[in-house]
A and B are shown apart, each in its own frame.
Chain A
Amino acid sequence: MQHLRMPETSVIGLILSADPALVGIVRLSLFVSLTAAACAALIGVPFGALLALTRFPGRQAIVVVLNALMGLPPVVAGLAIYLLLSRSGPLGSLGLLFTPQAMIIVQTVLVVPIVAALARQTIEDLWIEYRDELAAMNVGPLGRIATLIRDARLSLVTALLAGFGRATAEVGAVMIVGGNIDGFTRTMTTAIALETSKGDLPLAMSLGLVLIALVIIVNALAWSVRRLDERLAG
């Protein structure tokens, strides 16, 4: 028990003194996950909208697979991207393995299904409500998509926050494709895994606290956005 008492003071100390190693890790984590969430928004929202507004054979199957992919195990995504980016893989020549870019790619893969599936659901529900009115106002296909995305925007932001939350909390995928290289591809989650196994509990615990704080902030933001949505939309 002796060595467990020690960390408490040093944990707070590490956070308050903005320890450079800790700050670097937090900054990289945020950079990777925010970029991944942004990429996922650019891919997921239009894809979800398209899926919501079109009818074609096999659409139901795509919706089911997309919903299932929301629970895609990060290590499996990591393995798939690892195989793609490894030296002998199809994209090996790009030399992206064990770089932050690789981590952004793998987290985008993890977040796209969340954003696309939630966007599909949100936009489809709104479309059912709006369909007749927009048809009566003679609004064309592009105008319809723009209107639906605009009026569903706050729900879409909530979906993005959910995706960002998943990306920051995930460890398996970034570990495999990033390699947990000190000062280069070490994120909060991979650092916690490493420092815990090394026995450096103060750093692991301070990163854990930062991560939990971040998750709470993201959820508080999502909650506020939902409240705002209810106030504005009525």
Chain B
Amino acid sequence: MRDVVSDIPIRFEQVRLLVRGVTILDNVSITLAAGATTVLIGPNGAGKSTLLRLAMGLARPTGGRITWGGRSDVPPQRRAIVFQRPTMLRRSAAANVSYALAAAGCARVTRPEQVADLLGLVGLRDLARRPARRLSGGEQQRLALARALANDPDVLFLDEPTASLDPAATKAIEDLIRTIAARGIKLVMATHDLGEARRLATEIVLMHRGRIVEHTDAAQFFSAPQTAEAAMFTAGELLV
């Protein structure tokens, strides 16, 4: 059974990550607290995806400390992630969700009903029997979201969930993200799309070259950026 302690807040204390001598994250300290939808923005290679992987617990920092609800080394039972290019298991859409439910320890008898609920939530009930790899990009993203919700997470990480999707598919995903946020699930999302950040964020974390440059309320970030980098980024200039 689950304990009652939440994985939230997630706290990074002076986290560093080196991969083969290259600094990917440099002295990152941040607290991801309940409630707000945190959007990580910044150019490619800024360290957004890496920060998500560390927060998910898929990689260990070289230096510093990460805690989930005050505890370290917590397995990802109450966290979920949708990768930038999610891998569909070689099964039907329904079987993908069912697998995630089983992995989350959901009882076999209740699984079919939960599969139907989750597929209904993401609007894929009609495609339940379709092989997951045959779905379109947008459908696969939505299936990945359904799968991620299977363990009823405290926090959901989204890595560029709408990259390479057309406007209609993007809107479907963004609507879904709002629905999920409204359920009280903490969202941490990486994007380099300013418009998307504007539409979804309650707080913004601007990253650049492995560091956190600015961490502010979304309204303030866009109206009165504190740093030169943030001003450049919000003005639509290229931050390299």
Complex CA–CA separation, A147 to B99 (angstroms): 9
- For this complex, 10 residue pairs linking A to B, each with C-beta atoms less than 8 Å apart, are A133-B83, A137-B103, A137-B150, A138-B76, A138-B151, A139-B103, A151-B90, A232-B90, A233-B133, A234-B133
Complex CA–CA separation, A60 to B109 (angstroms): 44
Q: Tell me whether B81 and A136 are in contact (CB under 8 A).
A: yes
| Chain A binding surface SS class | helix
Q: Tell me whether B90 and A133 are in contact (CB under 8 A).
A: no
Q: Tell me whether A234 and B56 are in contact (CB under 8 A).
A: no
| Residues on A facing B (Cβ under 8 Å) | 129-130, 132-133, 135-139, 143, 147, 151, 231-234
- Chain B residues lying within 8 Å of A234, measured Cβ to Cβ, are 88, 90, 131-134
Complex interface residues of chain B between 63 and 99 (CB less than 8 A to chain A): 75-77, 80-81, 83, 86-91, 99
Contact among B88, B134, B151 with A137 in the assembled complex (CB-CB below 8 Å): B151
Other A-B contacts than A233-B133, A234-B133, A234-B134, 13 sampled, CB-CB below 8 A, are A129-B87, A130-B89, A132-B83, A133-B86, A133-B87, A137-B99, A137-B103, A138-B103, A143-B103, A232-B90, A232-B131, A233-B90, A234-B90
- Chain A residues lying within 8 Å of B81, measured Cβ to Cβ, are 136
Name the interface size band of chain B.
20 to 34
Q: Tell me whether A136 and B80 are in contact (CB under 8 A).
A: yes
| Residues on B facing A (Cβ under 8 Å) | 56, 58, 75-77, 80-81, 83, 86-91, 99-100, 103-104, 131-134, 147, 150-151
Complex CA–CA separation, A213 to B133 (angstroms): 36
- Report the minimal beta-carbon distance from B228 to chain A, rounded to whole angstroms: 35
Q: Tell me whether B58 and A132 are in contact (CB under 8 A).
A: yes
Question: Residue among B86, B91, B104, B151 with the most chain A CB within 10 A?
Answer: B91
- Chain A residues lying within 8 Å of B103, measured Cβ to Cβ, are 137-139, 143
- Chain B residues lying within 8 Å of A133, measured Cβ to Cβ, are 83, 86-87, 89
- Chain A residues lying within 8 Å of B86, measured Cβ to Cβ, are 133
- Report the minimal beta-carbon distance from B4 to chain A, rounded to whole angstroms: 18
Complex CA–CA separation, A206 to B224 (angstroms): 89
Closest 7 CB pairs of A and B: A234-B133, A234-B134, A234-B131, A233-B90, A137-B103, A151-B90, A133-B87
Complex CA–CA separation, A231 to B134 (angstroms): 9
Q: Tell me whether B77 and A138 are in contact (CB under 8 A).
A: yes
- Report the minimal beta-carbon distance from B215 to chain A, rounded to whole angstroms: 25
Closest B residue by C-beta to A130: B87
- Chain A residues lying within 8 Å of B76, measured Cβ to Cβ, are 135-138
Complex CA–CA separation, A34 to B76 (angstroms): 44
Closest A residue by C-beta to B92: A232
Complex CA–CA separation, A143 to B103 (angstroms): 9
Q: Tell me whether B133 and A135 are in contact (CB under 8 A).
A: no
Complex CA–CA separation, A79 to B104 (angstroms): 52
- Chain B residues lying within 8 Å of A129, measured Cβ to Cβ, are 87
Q: Tell me whether B104 and A137 are in contact (CB under 8 A).
A: yes
Contact among A135, A143, A147, A232 with B58 in the assembled complex (CB-CB below 8 Å): A135
Complex CA–CA separation, A109 to B146 (angstroms): 46
- Report the minimal beta-carbon distance from B200 to chain A, rounded to whole angstroms: 22
- Report the minimal beta-carbon distance from A144 to chain B, rounded to whole angstroms: 10
Complex CA–CA separation, A151 to B147 (angstroms): 17
- Report the minimal beta-carbon distance from B62 to chain A, rounded to whole angstroms: 19
- Chain B residues lying within 8 Å of A232, measured Cβ to Cβ, are 90, 131
Complex CA–CA separation, A151 to B91 (angstroms): 8
Complex CA–CA separation, A231 to B90 (angstroms): 10
Contact among B56, B131, B132, B134 with A136 in the assembled complex (CB-CB below 8 Å): B56
- Chain A residues lying within 8 Å of B131, measured Cβ to Cβ, are 231-234
- Chain B residues lying within 8 Å of A137, measured Cβ to Cβ, are 76, 99-100, 103-104, 147, 150-151
